[in-house]
Chains A and B, each alone.
Chain A
Amino acid sequence: MTSLAYTLTDSATMFRRQLRHIQRYPSLTGMLIGMPVVLLLLFVYVFGETLGAGLPGGGGDRSAYVNYLVPGLLLFAASGAAQGTAISMAMDMTEGIIDRFRTMAISRASVLTGHVLGSLLQTALCMAVLLGVALAIGFRPTATPLEWLAAAGVLLAAGFALTWLSVALGLISDSVETASNTPMFLILLPFLGSGFVPTDTMPTVLRWFADYQPFTPVTETLRGLLLGSGIGASALISLAWCAVISLLSYLWAKRAFRRRAAR
């Protein structure tokens, strides 16, 4: 076998290991799936009527708010899953097994690749459950199959970027506790963007931040694809953000893995 083939085989092995971890540690997965669903129900049934009335165009209600909320909440689900990724990465690093891998003639990248693939699957699971519940309580997207596919692509790109970022955050954490706290800011970002309310209702400084932080264009792109609102430049900006964050986080994670392991 060539070395590329070995890299693929080893990554697949590490991916299977992550799948077992997800299976053996169901409380973490449960929390990651549950949190966005709870938020969905809370925002729709508690705040939904009021927030719906404040949507642009006016006169919206609970059912209008479900449609507004879901795209941002899908990203919130990805942020939450990122926290799980950082935790499982840090757990791995605090155990001796990584040292064992490093004394074996296996592709170094496969350890990280396994984590990333496992996390992407977990993220997809969180989003799928959220989407299912959302559809059940009145989310009515207007997307064509092609738009659905594009939306899935955008979510995948965002999930990929967030996953690499959280792998890096997990690697630089000294303990599992730190790793569960550092990605907390990612969970706040959908709130400080167009995820829950339109940004033009915010005070100037906050609005400026909200308009230019990466979650907003991604949310707007998803909203456009799923519900037919205007996308404009958001799609391009989103993909650029995802590409830049993925690349930088990948390099950061690789470096952190090497340094961490050499101690």
Chain B
Amino acid sequence: MRITLIPALLLALIFFLIPVFIMFYQGLFDPEFTTQHFDRFWNRGAYLRIFINSVKISAITGLLCVLIGYPTAYFIVRRPPSVRPILLFLVLVPMWMSVLVRTYAWMVLLGREGLINMALVYVGILDEPIKMMYTSGAVYVAMVQILLPVAVITCYGTMADIDQSLLSAARVMGAKPFAAFRRVFLPLSLEGAVTGFLIVFVLSMGFFIVPALVGGPKDTMVANIIAVQVAKANWGFAASVALILLVFTLIAMTLIRVVSKRLIYSAREETS
């Protein structure tokens, strides 16, 4: 090990690893070992419901991001190499925009007197403005817009590694365009799509700005419980919820990894 690693190691140790351990302690000891915080989580239906709801919102967000992100990445990777960085840049700039600012933009757009309602009434699709803010739909639109670039770059990462001439080869051998895509490109790029879903899913599980600002009471997510409990100084309970979230994210990450590997390998054998 090199001494130059020390400053970064200290930062990661003191401000990441130790805090996570402190949270374990806070969730499990009060001051003696106790499972009371976890009992509270499991026994009050409301918390469990919020957790399951977060899993649902995150899974749907992940799916939507991959469904839009995969074709977007495919479009970019099929362009000449000189054009690709410019198109990727167009996707990356919004990714670095403040999440708060982007959520605010949706608040402005989706309001009863917001631009979208006004436009729909003006065009005649709506007779009068409808409620868009504080709905699940608003949460999905904002979350997909915020996380879509992540799905695009993950899909693009694996696609860029695929030898593009494989597709042309399949065409030369007589495969129709879509068949060439399905039999050759899709199996090879599936890993990026699954990883993209996984990353968006895990990132969504930690979201709290969007559900708090554009969602209704039904759209509360796990991170919102943690923030509220911290404000109420219920650290033990907040820590136990955070622990459940941590364990869940870690399990979800390993599980989907294993499943995706098997899926990808079986698909590859089928092609070969």
Q: Do A and B come from the same complex? A: no
Tell me the A residues contacting B by CB distance below 8 Å: none
